[in-house]
Amino acid sequence: LPQAVESGMGRRYTGWNAPPSKRQITTLSVCLGDVFLFFFILAPLLHGAARWGFLLSFAFVMAVTFTAGILAISIDPVDPMVEAFELDIEPPENHEDEEVAYCRHCKHSVQLDSKHCWDCNKCVANFDHHCPWLNTCIGTRNYGPFYVAIWGLLVMLGLILAVAAFLLEQILNTEAGHGIQSDYGFAKWHLITILILTIFVNGVFALLDMTLVV
């Protein structure tokens, strides 16, 4: 089965289980890269109240986004009836007239709103979709933190785009650009290249993220 974890029942328990997806590695790399970029390159180019305002805003949004993302990855959204079977405990109580389905892959009864995910090889309660960016399924149990994470990421990317666009405009304006100096001795064309790449990469990710939140 694709991406299935060969342990226990051969299913993926959380997004931390190996193997990681290429898009999960890309997500982590871009997020960590953006944190380094903002705190050590973009923010130092700002001055006065603007620097501290953007720094505090970005730090808060980053903390919320990372916390929610880690929760979404760490929570196992498996169907509770399958989980009870695995743990050898009493399944959650169901009303007598409530119908259940049977999954021939999990070899157990599951809730009607559950769906079997082939990437994780398990039935997920109130299955929404499999998220390759987090390497896990999204269902009832982790939809809340997932929703917070994608909105937080959109705000985080928006802050980076706003700062990068503002700095690029200032640098391209010859008179205003004289006041922007890098602590690392970057030449003007170095900064322009960094800012254009920052806008392009984060712009693409912002558009991808918007497809999830809209």
Six-digit token string for 192 = 């322009």
Active site members: 131
- What would you report as the CA-atom Rg of the chain, rounded to the nearest whole angstrom? 22
Instruction: Please enumerate in sequence order all residues whose Cβ is within 8 A of that of 141, keeping only pairs 6 or more positions apart, or say none.
Output: 75, 76, 77, 125
- CA 88 vs. chain centroid, Å, equals 33
* Sheet strands (E) in the chain: 100-103, 108-111, 115-117, 122-124, 129-131, 136-138
Instruction: Please enumerate in sequence order all residues whose Cβ is within 8 A of that of 153, keeping only pairs 6 or more positions apart, or say none.
Output: 31, 65, 69, 205, 209
- Angle of the 22-37 helix axis to the 48-74 helix axis, nearest 10: 160
State the Cα torsion 56-57-61-64 to the nearest 10°.
50
